[in-house]
Structure 1
């Protein structure tokens, strides 16, 4: 099996920011995504939930995909996407059409981040069947080919191959779906956890006949780059995403990661 650093060597480091669409006004979120782009971030993500994930559980919150359409208009360079879309909330063909539309609005900057879903309150409050982790993963496995099929039929076609990012670390099902369908795998955890996941992902790539070099490794990070950045980079991670909460969306931690990115990419 190829060393993860070797088969990811050609990829530059990229920095993402996840702007949590909770506890903030739209004006705060709009200002934050514009400021993140001006700071030099590569990708701006939100998330696909209907209620805050922490803090006041009934606090302010905005919807994911209508927000992405607005981001497409207020930004010019940065890629945008959900980290991640909940597959349960939208018909797969509709999600493909939404993705194609925002792809055009943004001039080819959408990343289709998707996962099986997990936040039970969203399901209960909005009338979706929660099911089980297994049933939600099975639904995701059925949806991904339908999304791909619909994207191929739409008129006008997408402006580019819309990159698919799959989030999750399940070793038996999720990582196999990544090997089949994804351009980027997004995970989380300390370097020891990530090391295991990338090894298993490479094994699934071998099973599925996929070149592991085709799949970018992504990880959510906390703190500064001096803590885990080099270890994760050594494991082949090339996309590092920092989460910021509203309403202030302090870009200070993000700037440290951007400086580290520029230093690594210049070396």
Structure 2
């Protein structure tokens, strides 16, 4: 229940800021909810504490169980986000880039913030963001797609998904991402200087994200007319009957 602001390079506790108080207030309910449930089951979810596991399996059991728990929590957040979007009447694409994306990316955001504060350079924080999102895109999409394709092939059908606004959303994202990268290279030498420059850069990054959400949402509701007909493999996904 105590507030922990971390330690500085000399091991002294940092001064508690208003942001630390706000984050502690927002997460207090979850801390109280999870803490008594996890403590008696720590040995179950951390089998590497067992002497035999430490001797023969090292940390692999804890790693595998962590992946299972992360996958379960991600599925829970995804389903909760879809239900919330359905209740509020939000387009599914808008739900995906807002509620679901925020729910699954906030842990990476806080981890990157911690890495940026503790390290001399931003390599770990940037690597965490790019690495985690690479896993989300390539493994999080590739593995389910392979499973669905194999399942459909076993039933003698084709697995097809309507791209809808995917291409347009990628165009918007690549545009703001390019601006972000250019800004990072242009201000790279200044980010270690005055705090005002850091604040301006941070606000600009948040503004780029807001701009992307607005553009993608306008396209999802067909307010922004920007249509691109993607090529479709002939005889595979041309009819609704061939899809699963």
Quick check: TM above 0.5? no
Give 1 or 2 for the bigger CA radius of gyration.
2
Q: What's the TM-score, normalizing by structure 2?
A: 0.29
Bigger RCO (CA 8 Å, 6+ sep): 1
The structure carrying a bigger helix percent of its residues is 2
Q: What's the TM-score, normalizing by structure 1?
A: 0.27
